[in-house]
Amino acid sequence: MDDLSIIAVLSSVVKTYAEECGIDIAWENTGYKPTQGEKYLEVFYLPGEPVTGINGQVQNVGIYQININEAATQGRGAALTTVTELRAAYGRTAVLSGTGRVAIKSMELGQPQDNGQWWTEILNISWLV
């Protein structure tokens, strides 16, 4: 499966979630100016080096990073609620289908960030094809 297909499968989940919740997404390599005080998401596709799996099969692996940017006035609690909802949307060990199958290996939080205007929680989704 090529990178564009993997991105399409992984992006479909966050896109559906954001549309249902009325949250903007700052897509990778596109211009975006956040609205002051409004939650928004940022997504990043971070492919890793292919690994050799069981039976010598080459597998593509990587991270799909979603930054949840919540207005600083709302704080960490609101951002963590979004993290919980996104984890449920992706499923703990889901196999996502679209133009192919992408398995979710694990999900973990990165180091949170507070830049004064935004509180950011980072959700790292490890995937495997």
Chain segment 16-36, per-residue pLDDT in tens: 999 999 999 999 999 999 999
* Res 38: pLDDT: 93
- pLDDT tops 90 at residue 91: no
pTM above 0.75, yes or no: yes
Q: Mutual orientation of helices 3-21 and 75-90 as an angle, nearest 10°? A: 130
Tokens of 66: 């979603």
Residue 104 half-sphere exposure toward CB, CA atoms < 13 A: 24
Please check the confidence at residue 99 and state whether its pLDDT lies above 60.
yes
Average pLDDT over residues 38-57: 92
Q: Locate 20 and state its tokens.
A: 């249902």
Assigned architecture for domain 3-128 = 2-Layer Sandwich (3.30)
**Reported confidence tier of residue 63, pLDDT bands at 50, 70, 90:** very high
> Which pLDDT band holds residue 93 (cuts at 50, 70, 90)?
low
pLDDT of residue 71: 92
Question: pLDDT-derived band of residue 97, with 50, 70 and 90 as boundaries?
Answer: confident
Provide the β-strand partners of residue 50: none
State how far the Cα of 31 lies from the Cα of 101, in Å rounded to an integer. Answer: 29
